[in-house]
Structure 1
């Protein structure tokens, strides 16, 4: 291969098979999209698996603001490196890698320098894996596709001990709950409540248990009780029974709310011990309301958390490999994506849909 041929390979755009929504709320259908060229420090990921996150549905529906269409969702991506740019030093062809919710950031602000790229405040901010605009001005496309071109610095190593299909959801669902559990010190001697046992909640139970905390699931009903206890919960309580809020008042050091629903925050804040914290990781479409008195009388906190930076996400993947933690998944073909979306909205999944990208 000549130097001229190599240069051509790294300047040509790429046509990639993908599943996309052509307009807001449209069904996803097979198509092709044009991605950027492979740059000096880019790698090409042969996508093997891509998780379906509830936020994919929100963004296709423009629930959180205007979208960029055609939209190729997917930010729980696992695959193998198939090509590297001439300046790549971190990866080689065949490496097992993953990509989460962002593919770039300013790299210069205080947050980026601290490894908190998800809170980037520099020019352009964090670049979302899909439904975003890259520094080259091109729209970004996500993991419901055959391949992804990404800067080598924004890919993560998936340890050999993690199967790629069950590891894919860790890139969003896993880090979304790992980050607050780690930041607020879940561990031995701490009582942690996980609200909801869905895609995020089932990861939160496993991670909090592995960290050594005493774990309680707070769910609307006892329908998933056997699953929750099997995954590591010590207790499982149904919040449809209002007596639960009296019985558990002042019980928890940390509550992680994983559901995107209209909850009575005042009631949940009352479950915290003095100096306890409730962290929102689920993002409902409508504002939530809170009577602040329970915060004041217990010096309690209501906080939020968004995914994790690159170092913490790698830490999470390594922690999961060490403790044998993966998502519990239902593997689907690409033509089942729209059906999967309907089932997610109906709560009919245990616990994460993952697309077999070989069917795209």
Structure 2
């Protein structure tokens, strides 16, 4: 029997089928079925979108979910949670992790799309709950948004008054931005003592042909003829607030990145920051292999997505990296990975892989345990 090895599992979520923590656990289960004596370390990662909360919960000992009920993107009540991380020297009262996806995310709408009416109020309410708890720091994931409201709902939850020319509150969502005429920031909540870090893999500005409405609006249901009116609404909002709409990332999450800049938060690359916060680099000490992955690995995956960051960290630590993906596109470059496995190939079709992601992730883990057995222990 070959010597025991340390193997670190650091996948992102397989969007639409299983979160990062579930993917890491399934891969590890499969690996143990083939190599039960290896030292297994779980460090699921995320880029700020769906699964960010679960990744922190799985990787940070003592992290505690804090239930909260908020207003969802469609105005209905949603039961969600933010995550309280244990105290550290930089955050003596603990840090709060809040995820837009689980409070104002597009997944909460199912097959529906509400481009003009979805808003970010619930995300703001969850942030306020963490502030009221007294956290020293906030980590905010803003991927998977349902709205293009420029973060107006978030700002109002934080105490900003947004009104029309008659001093009446504007309507929720992008719809209300067409009439916004005044912004009063005097009642805006203060930042927590050691600040707010915003995780995003988006670098788009707020406005224009690369902005929130033009690039991401169609995903949220805007028709071609609605893009310019939506962009005009964002322009009206930006003209009333003390933020720079050209800042990279201002267009993230339908303009929520811009609203958070107005609040004073710092936008950072999501995948790299999550990897740092969950201690991935430290976990690679004495490791023989790190296994990463995501739902679809294609030609764009090298630009800012979690597997690329994990691969870079592995290379710097001189630890081989293996890849597991729901599908590996023909244009994908996997030459930098020691091994690669596709759930679609293992299952026989993408439909079967999506139907039982945990099953095929376990199969991939077992396959990699056998195909990488020649690596040094």
TM exceeds 0.5? no
- TM-score of the pair, normalised by structure 1: 0.31
- TM-score of the pair, normalised by structure 2: 0.30
More strand by share: 1
